[in-house]
């Protein structure tokens, strides 16, 4: 028996990086998966990797509330009630407290924080009767300050506490929903690999001496998606190669 047999999952930002790795792993473990992304150019290739019999793609801008209802509706129509939501979609801009632009600030927060807020809101709506797991991708930047990730720090720190608030609310309402956050270190994703000049510097920040493989983060998402994590809610799971232990 596979670890996600019979489960239905939605993975935002699912055409690459952590999202694609998680979607592939979820399907391998028996789930049906909807992947979403604002960019549909990589959708066909992602579905080929995941397995077309077990996955569909829905175009979505996670920062727009009107895009959320169709994602859940199309998933329910294709596969049945949703059990797992991985709020993975995110963007990165390097900035600092002195030179931050309001435009970029709003851009980062709209995707990285508003998108998670909306996903959590609709996840609760669609899971509160039958139960499920909401998994929010935060970051080590949600735990510690990084001088050149000002807006990203704010967004990911917000995801950390938003997650705890939602978990407590669901428990208070007796909804059978768990809400947890994952805090990866730097990994080989398109977001990080877009800055090859930083690779050696970023590797040295991790005591293990390397960047993560996306599957190493997906493994944690798999645990939280499965019934193995049935007593975990409102918690933060760090997968950072020792970064924050220093």
pLDDT value of residue 189: 85
Total number of residues shown for the chain: 246
- CATH classification at residue 199: 3.40.50.720
Q: Is 195 a catalytic residue?
A: no
- Name the active-site residue from 122, 126, 150, 152: 152
**Other CB atoms within 10 A of residue 221 CB:** 28
**124, part of any domain:** yes
State the maximum Cα–Cα separation within the chain, in Å, rounded to a whole number. 54
Its domain, for residue 227, covers 8-239
Residue 1 has pLDDT above 80, yes or no: no
pLDDT value of residue 212: 95
Q: What is the pLDDT of residues 170-213, one digit of tens each?
A: 999 999 999 999 999 999 888 788 888 888 999 999 999 999 99
Could you tell me the CA-to-CA distances from 47 to 25, 74, 77 in Å, in that order?
Answer: 13, 16, 18
Question: What angle do the packed helices 150-172 and 115-127 form, to 10 degrees?
Answer: 20
Q: What is the pLDDT of residues 206-237, one digit of tens each?
A: 999 999 999 999 999 999 999 999 999 999 99
Instruction: Report the chain's terminal Cα–Cα distance, integer Å.
Output: 39
DSSP string, 112-179: IIIHHHHHHHHHHHHHTTT-EEEEEE--GGGTS--TTBHHHHHHHHHHHHHHHHHHHHHHHTT--EEE
**48, part of any domain:** yes
For strand 177-184 and strand 132-137, is the pairing parallel, antiparallel, or unpaired?
Answer: parallel
User: In 106-141, which positions are buried (b, 16+ CB within 10 angstroms) versus exposed (e)?
Assistant: eebbbbbbbbbbbbbebbbebbeeeebbbbbbbbbb
**159, part of any domain:** yes
**13, part of any domain:** yes
Q: What is the pLDDT of residues 110-150, one digit of tens each?
A: 999 999 999 999 999 999 999 999 999 999 999 999 999 99
Domain count across the chain: 1
Q: What is the pLDDT of residues 54-70, one digit of tens each?
A: 999 999 999 999 999 99
Q: What is the pLDDT of residues 4-55, one digit of tens each?
A: 999 999 999 999 999 999 999 999 999 999 999 999 999 999 999 999 999 9
Q: What is the pLDDT of residues 155-176, one digit of tens each?
A: 999 999 999 999 999 999 999 9
**163, part of any domain:** yes
pLDDT value of residue 196: 87
pLDDT value of residue 78: 98
């Amino acid at each position: 028996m596979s670890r996600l047999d019979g489960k239905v999952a939605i993975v935002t930002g699912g055409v690459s990086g952590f999202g694609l790795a998680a979607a592939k792993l979820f399907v391998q473990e028996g789930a049906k998966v909807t992947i979403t992304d604002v960019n549909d150019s990589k959708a066909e290739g992602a579905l080929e990797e995941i397995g077309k019999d077990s996955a569909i793609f829905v175009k979505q801008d996670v920062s727009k509330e009107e895009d959320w209802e169709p994602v859940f509706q199309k998933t329910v129509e294709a596969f049945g009630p949703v059990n797992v939501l991985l709020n993975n979609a995110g963007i990165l801009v390097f900035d600092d407290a002195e030179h931050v632009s309001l435009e970029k600030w709003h851009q980062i927060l709209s995707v990285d924080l508003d998108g998670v807020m909306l996903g959590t809101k609709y996840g609760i709506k669609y899971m509160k009767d039958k139960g499920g797991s909401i998994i929010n991708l935060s970051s080590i930047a949600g735990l510690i300050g990084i001088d050149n990730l000002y807006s990203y720090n704010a967004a990911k720190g917000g995801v950390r506490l938003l997650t705890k608030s939602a978990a407590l609310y669901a428990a208070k309402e007796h909804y059978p929903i768990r809400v947890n956050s994952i805090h990866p270190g730097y990994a080989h994703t398109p977001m990080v690999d877009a800055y090859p000049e930083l690779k050696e510097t970023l590797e040295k920040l991790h005591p293990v001496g390397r960047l993560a493989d996306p599957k190493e983060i997906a493994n944690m998402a798999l645990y939280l998606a499965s019934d193995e994590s049935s007593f975990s809610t409102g918690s933060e799971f760090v997968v950072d190669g020792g970064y924050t232990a220093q």
